[in-house]
Amino acid sequence: MIDYNSKRWERKREHILKRDGYMCQESKRYGKRIDADMVHHIWPADEYPEYAWEDWNLISLANRVHNKMHHRLTKKLTPQGEALRKRTPPPKDKNN
């Protein structure tokens, strides 16, 4: 389980936002420039703890886009979240 209030997460979150230019990467796919304010685990951290801190598994999103990625109550991925996960397979080599 990730402590989203920890210094470690704060540093990782800032790193990912900076990497992505503080822009929502899902909106960018559609030619829209929207500021990102969330970092999303493409492969859910609760189900895949081994991927929780991997840069390739984290993406900057706008809050409204993030809310479309998984159900708030069940925490399960929505069809949109599943589509993103299918487009983002784990690297074959752990050193990537």
d(CA 71, CA 40): 13
Which pLDDT value is given to residue 95? 56
Burial 47-71 (b: 16+ CB within 10 A, else e): eeeebbebeebbbbbbeebbeebbe
Give the global pTM.
Answer: 0.91
Q: What is the pLDDT of residues 2-52, one digit of tens each?
A: 899 999 999 999 999 999 999 999 999 999 999 999 999 999 999 999 999
Whether the pLDDT of residue 94 is over 70: the answer is no
Cα–Cα distances in angstroms (integers) from residue 49 to residues 20, 37, 42, 52, in the given order: 22, 23, 12, 5
Cα 78–chain centre separation: 14
pLDDT of residue 69: 97
Q: What is the structure's pLDDT at 89?
A: 95
Residue 85 has pLDDT above 60, yes or no: yes
Query: 40 near 69, Cβ under 8 Å?
Result: yes
pLDDT in tens, 52-78: 999 999 999 999 999 999 998 888 999
Residue with tokens 């809050």: 63
